[in-house]
Amino acid sequence: MRSPAMHVISAASAVGLLLAASMPGSAQQKSDPKSLEQHKTSPGGKYEPSLDVLGGSKLEPPGAKEGVPTLSPAEFQAANQLYFERCAGCHGVLRKGATGKPLTPDVTKPLGFDYLRDFITYGSPAGMPNWGTSGEMPKDQIELMAKYLLNEPAQPPEFGMKEIKATWKVTVPVDKRPKAKANKIDIDGLFSVTLRDTGEIALIDGATKKIATVIKTGYAVHISRMSASGRYLYAIGRDAKVDLIDLWMDPPQTVAEIKIGAEARSIETSKAKGWEDKYAIAGAYWPPQYVIMNGDTLEPLKVVSTRGMTYDTQEYHPEPRVAAIVASHFHPEFVVNVKETGQILMVNYQDLDNLRVSSIGAERFLHDGGLDSTRRYFLVAANARNTVAVVDLKDRKLVRLIREKDGIGDKPHPGRGANFVHPKFGPVWATSHLGDETIALIGTDPVKHKESAWKVVQVLKGQGGGSLFIKTHPKSKNLYVDTPLNPEAEISASVAAFDIANLEKPYEALPIGQWSGISVGQRRVTQGEFNKAGDEIWFSVWNAKDQESAIVVVDDRTRKLKTVIRDKRLVTPTGKFNVMNTRKDVY
């Protein structure tokens, strides 16, 4: 059996946050992304008014180095592969650190081979998995990895237009697709469910709860998004593979695919008036770039690098990864969140040859977020900085950074967040947290509730830390908060339901795991998603790949179990995306 840590490491990027914690000797130390900064600024040096402008005196000559173990090309290749599969998600493709610590030689060499080997073997209570004692990595792999980490990181290859285009396939051309919907599915009612560990998505009928079809996709699909009309569905894998699925076909099927890089997380579609279904955009972790594609063919049109300056210290960052992307409804623009530089890019897609981009300096480690109920404002969590940034998509400006001192908790993780009308403070947007049990409610109405706008107006206490997603619906009176990453099995298998009309009232813990009828495994319950009508909420009961998982459907009005979807094909279900709510940004 796999250890719980193993579940964590194999989960989506969100989960990787739990691994933020520490390298050896820092068990007492809080995870501090500044260690990265210190590392990065060190080569700068003082200004010396000489001709030594290229800093030759500070450069190390290339070649073999003392005390650095050498690897054969085959070993190096194997270690590199292993590093990508096991480590890059948290420690970064270039080993510069991200949610995990930096693993560049200036950090690893003082620790030394034995220390690294033992640390990989035994893990740390702060979040590093026990790769050795869990049986996940044999001894020789661990030793190889420790040696690899003492060497300079390899620069992975670029993946520009030429490489992207070589992966592009249109399997069903536009003129071979149906002219009208050719199936009997209620498309707006459909749920696209990520089957993480099989590299598939399941399309489940919202009314019958039957699986309409299971479609092969990229590795560990991160999210699904729908075109503005709802006809097209886009899934993106962690391996940066994008699948375009035509929901009008019978059954719905993949009509085009492409790979936009080596590692990716985000995809979105154009939603501004007049631009519906026209473009898709995908954001990559490596290379750090985003790619704009034709909406109905995935033909890559524009590749734009995100490498550039951090918003605050204005130092160059070589690997600023693209986190969440949302589509503006106010302008023909995509909102691209660049993690390491803390820049929010408003990418105007009206004229791709003369591309206009506004770079809004916000906060580092931008991760995910969503629109307020008017869709004018975008709220995004800079999770490692305990900050929510608010951007005005109409005026393309930062509105406010809401910080820890303002009431944001430890590592906010909103998903897209939850919008509802607070009885006292009017429209609010809410986020739960990975690091603690709090739920922060932020006022979002600067017109009728000016005093509350962009402030944490109330903090609720949920079941505990380890929350990934919070959810409600305009028709719902409930606010649901999951805790799939909580170390307590019972908490991770249940969901807190708050009464929006009376938020002082303690939450009710819904035992979703128990309701699923599954009795083995960790039964992590995650990602509530409403149906089209807004009267049911679906939760994933997410077990390991070799265990049974399920989807539990709850009646929103009564908070009672409505039905359980159990099917052999439902392997490791995580994210679920209802077509209607996703295309209309209802959350």
Active site residues: 87, 90-91, 128, 367, 413
For residue 541, the cross-strand partners are 525, 550
From candidates 44, 138, 474, 506, binder to a copy of itself by CB under 8 A: 44
Interacting span for a copy of itself (CB under 8 A) from 49-57, 204-212, 521-529, 536-544 = 49-57
If the CB atoms of residues 75 and 499 are measured against a copy of itself, the closer one turns out to be: 75
Residue 53, classified by CB atoms within 10 Å of its CB into exposed (0-12), middle (13-18) or buried (19+), is exposed
Q: Give the 3-state DSSP-derived string for 487-514, with helices as H, strands as E and coil as C.
A: CCHHHHCCEEEEECCCCCCCCEEECHHH
Question: Contacting a copy of itself (CB under 8 A), which of 30, 216, 313, 459?
Answer: 313
- CB closer to a copy of itself, 316 vs 451: 316
Applying the rule CB under 8 A, the residues between 284 and 303 that interact with a copy of itself are 286-287, 289, 302-303
Report the distance separating Cα 525 and Cα 522, nearest Å.
9
Rounded Cα gap, residues 441 and 454, in angstroms: 10
The reply on whether position 240 binds a copy of itself by CB under 8 A is yes
In the set 235, 360, 390, 457, which binds a copy of itself (CB under 8 A)?
360
Q: Which of 196, 265, 331, 396 binds a copy of itself (CB under 8 A)?
A: 396
Taking the least distance from each CB to a copy of itself, the nearer of 37 and 556 is 37
Instruction: Give the number of residues in contact with a copy of itself, rule: CB under 8 A.
Output: 83
Please say whether the dihedral angle defined by the alpha carbons of residues 161, 162, 167 and 169, taken in this order, is positive or negative: positive
Counted residue by residue, the chain has a size of 587
Q: Which is nearer to a copy of itself, 131 or 159 (CB)?
A: 159
- Residue from 28, 60, 274, 502 touching a copy of itself (CB under 8 A): that is 60
**How many other C-beta atoms are found inside a 10 Å radius of the C-beta of residue 559?**
16
Tokens standing for 348? 């105007």
Report the C-alpha gap between 273 and 345 in whole angstroms.
20
For a copy of itself, the binding residue among 28, 34, 47, 67 (CB under 8 A) is 47
Sole binder of a copy of itself in the list 25, 27, 43, 404 (CB under 8 A): 43
350 binds a copy of itself (CB under 8 A): no
**Contact flag: residue 56 with a copy of itself (CB under 8 A):** yes
Stretch near a copy of itself under the rule CB under 8 A, chosen from 61-69, 228-236, 371-379, 524-532: 61-69
Site string for a copy of itself, 409-448 (x = CB under 8 A): ----------------------------------------
Of 394, 397, 434, 400, nearest in space to 414 by CA = 434
Site string for a copy of itself, 246-285 (x = CB under 8 A): -------------x--xx----------------------
Closer of 68 and 211 to a copy of itself (Cβ): 68
**Interface with a copy of itself (CB under 8 A), residue from 136, 197, 200, 239:** 239
Residue type, 312: D
The reply on whether position 358 binds a copy of itself by CB under 8 A is: yes
Residues 72-91 that bind a copy of itself (CB under 8 A): 72-73, 75-78, 80-81, 84-85, 88
Which residue among 28, 34, 57, 67 contacts a copy of itself (CB under 8 A)?
Answer: 57
Q: Which span sits near a copy of itself by CB under 8 A: 130-138, 349-357, 532-540, 564-572?
A: 349-357
The DSSP annotation for 26-41 comes to -SSSPP-THHHHHHHH
Q: Which of 176, 210, 273, 397 binds a copy of itself (CB under 8 A)?
A: 397
Residue 261 DSSP SS3: coil
Closest approach, Cβ 328 to a copy of itself, in A, equals 14
SS (H, E, C) 388-432: EEEEECCCCEEEEEECHHHCCCCCECCCCCEEEEECCCEEEEEEC
* Four-residue CA torsion sign, 357, 360, 361, 364: negative
Integer CA distances (angstroms), 318 to 16, 62, 203, 496, 500, in order: 21, 20, 38, 41, 44
Binder of a copy of itself out of 1, 27, 207, 357 (CB under 8 A): 357
Say if residues 419 and 428 touch (Cβ distance below 8 Å): yes
Is-contact 431 388, C-beta < 8 A?
yes
Q: Which is nearer to a copy of itself, 65 or 559 (CB)?
A: 65
For residues 118 and 163, which CB has a smaller minimum distance to a copy of itself in the complex?
163
Largest CA distance in the chain: 75
529, 540 contact by CB (below 8 A):
no
Cα–Cα distances in angstroms (integers) from residue 354 to residues 165, 306, 347, 357, 416, in the given order: 21, 17, 11, 10, 30
Choose which of 29, 133, 171, 305 interacts with a copy of itself (CB under 8 A).
305
Nearer to a copy of itself, 116 or 580 (CB): 116
**Near a copy of itself in 151-170, by CB under 8 A:** 151-152, 154, 156-163, 166-167
The first and second tokens of residue 184, run together, are 């009997």
Nearer to a copy of itself among residue 133 and residue 313 (C-beta): 313
Per CB under 8 A, contacts with a copy of itself among 112-151 are 151
d(CA 206, CA 6): 32
Residues 6 or more apart in contact with residue 561 via CB below 8 angstroms: 515, 552, 553, 554, 555
x/- contact string, 565-584, with a copy of itself (CB under 8 A)? --------------------
